[in-house]
Chain A
Amino acid sequence: MHRFANPARFLRLAKVILPWSNAVAALCLGAGLYFALLGSPADYQQGESVRIMYVHVPSAWMGMFCYVAMAVFSAMALIWKHPLADLLAKATAPVGAAFTFLCLLTGSLWGKPMWGTWWAWDARLTSMLILLFLYFGYMALVNAFDDPERGHKAAAILALVGAVNVPVIKWSVDWWNTLHQPASVVKMGGPAIDSSMLVPLLLMAVGFKAYWISILILRGRAEIAAQKVRIIRMAQIHAAAQGE
């Protein structure tokens, strides 16, 4: 793990991985969307509305996955001071926030026809909303300082503190009565979902993860480049000040 904390090695590795992650994302999302929208059966109870699930559920997984990734990067940055870890945590945050928002939005659109309401303050929906606010808080805090290092440190602590919300989201439907139904896929006794519907769901989930890898590489590169520019500028100012 420590071997990959080196920015030069990251850039070399990124070059190799990027075309593959792009290809996997395009293939999985293409096939996944085809099966989700056309090639899969309607639900016995929900009819065609069930197709919202193929975006809603993978988005929710992505929201939580990105948060865990952000917290792990933050912990690595705080403990081992890896220069790259802060940048990758920062690069992950907007992706996670976007998918959390997508999850809440599609959930709302799905809730109206199925449950009869756009929104309910039950434990699952509320904890997911808190996740979105944690992302917003992280993104605001990381840019709130003139010294980027202080911003990274403060945001990393916030990311770690907020990580307690992730298990609460996952098990909220088991711990309390909620309007949201319990887990269908990751649960004891195997998935409660027919394989003709599980396959497109998993394709979408893999596609989303590959998309995250691509975005992480692109944003990570941009962050490294921005840091290099900052260092060069600082050196120039320093040299100019000494030359006077």
Chain B
Amino acid sequence: MTRKQRRLYFVLLGMLALGGAVALVLTAISDSLVYFYSPTDIVEQRIPEGRRMRIGGLVENDSLVKDGKTVTFKVTDVTNAVPVTYTGVLPDLFREGQGVVVEGRMDKGGQFKATEVLAKHDENYMPKEVADALKKSGQWNDGKQQK
């Protein structure tokens, strides 16, 4: 084996070992790398009240109630939903059916008190006419917005 070959294998082996190590670490700490939990995670894992966290999902249709600057709505992942109250300015994209991430704390009554509401947008980009045409022809898939 020439020195060049030896260096080549050394670099390849090193990259392989490093890649493996990083993959193991990322898998191990995967839980803390998620930006938000889904409503199902909240319901199933019984996360203690008072802990600051983020919940992500869709704003449930017909759940939005505005009362002055305070809004209440439900964040759903279709299987489960969490009721949320929030006082403040909402992002432009916020509406029913839209993906959102809310940050705040769970109170005793199982109501999520949000201090921040972020809108999530999906990976689809199209002009308005195309979106309208898709809706008209019944090919519109709202489920796409869900992650």
A residues contacting B by CB (< 8 A) are 41-46, 50, 53, 75, 78-80, 113-117, 120-123, 160-161, 163-164, 168, 175-179, 181-184, 187, 192-194, 196-197
Contacting pair A114 B126 (CB below 8 A)? no
Contacting pair B121 A45 (CB below 8 A)? yes
Contacting pair A193 B18 (CB below 8 A)? no
In B103-127, the 8 Å CB interface with A consists of 116-127
Contacting pair A193 B125 (CB below 8 A)? yes
Q: Give 5 pairs: A residue, B residue, CB < 8 Å, sorted on A.
A: A43-B128, A45-B131, A115-B93, A116-B118, A175-B26
Contacting pair B11 A179 (CB below 8 A)? no
Min CB distance B18 to A, Å, is: 6
Partner of B35, one of A44, A177, A183, A187: A177
Q: State whether A50 and B125 are in contact (beta carbons under 8 Å apart), knowing that A120-B118, A179-B118 are contacts in the complex.
A: yes
In B9-31, the 8 Å CB interface with A consists of 11, 14-15, 18-19, 22, 26, 30
Expressed in whole angstroms, the Cα–Cα distance for A194 and B130 within the complex equals: 8
Q: State whether A117 and B11 are in contact (beta carbons under 8 Å apart), knowing that A176-B33, A194-B126, A194-B127 are contacts in the complex.
A: no
Interface residues of B, CB < 8 Å — how many? 43
Find chain B residues with CB under 8 A from A196 CB.
127
Min CB distance B122 to A, Å, is: 6
B8 proximal to A (CB < 8 A): yes
Residue of B whose beta carbon sits closest to that of A183: B123
Find chain A residues with CB under 8 A from B147 CB.
177, 182
Expressed in whole angstroms, the Cα–Cα distance for A85 and B120 within the complex equals: 42
Contacting pair A80 B125 (CB below 8 A)? no
Partner of A44, one of B4, B11, B101, B128: B128
B7 proximal to A (CB < 8 A): yes
Residue of A whose beta carbon sits closest to that of B99: A181
Q: State whether A181 and B129 are in contact (beta carbons under 8 Å apart), knowing that A122-B35, A163-B15 are contacts in the complex.
A: no
List the 10 shortest-distance A-B pairs measured between CB atoms, nearest first.
Answer: A116-B91, A41-B127, A44-B131, A122-B35, A194-B126, A193-B125, A177-B34, A184-B123, A44-B128, A79-B7
Contacting pair A176 B92 (CB below 8 A)? no
Min CB distance A9 to B, Å, is: 20
In B68-117, the 8 Å CB interface with A consists of 90-94, 101, 116-117
Q: State whether A178 and B35 are in contact (beta carbons under 8 Å apart), knowing that A41-B128, A115-B91, A164-B22 are contacts in the complex.
A: yes
Partner of A177, one of B56, B94, B126, B129: B56
Find chain B residues with CB under 8 A from A176 CB.
30, 33-35
Find chain B residues with CB under 8 A from A117 CB.
116, 118
Contacting pair B120 A179 (CB below 8 A)? yes
Min CB distance B90 to A, Å, is: 8
Contacting pair A197 B126 (CB below 8 A)? yes
Find chain B residues with CB under 8 A from A53 CB.
125
Q: State whether A184 and B35 are in contact (beta carbons under 8 Å apart), knowing that A44-B130, A79-B8, A177-B56 are contacts in the complex.
A: no
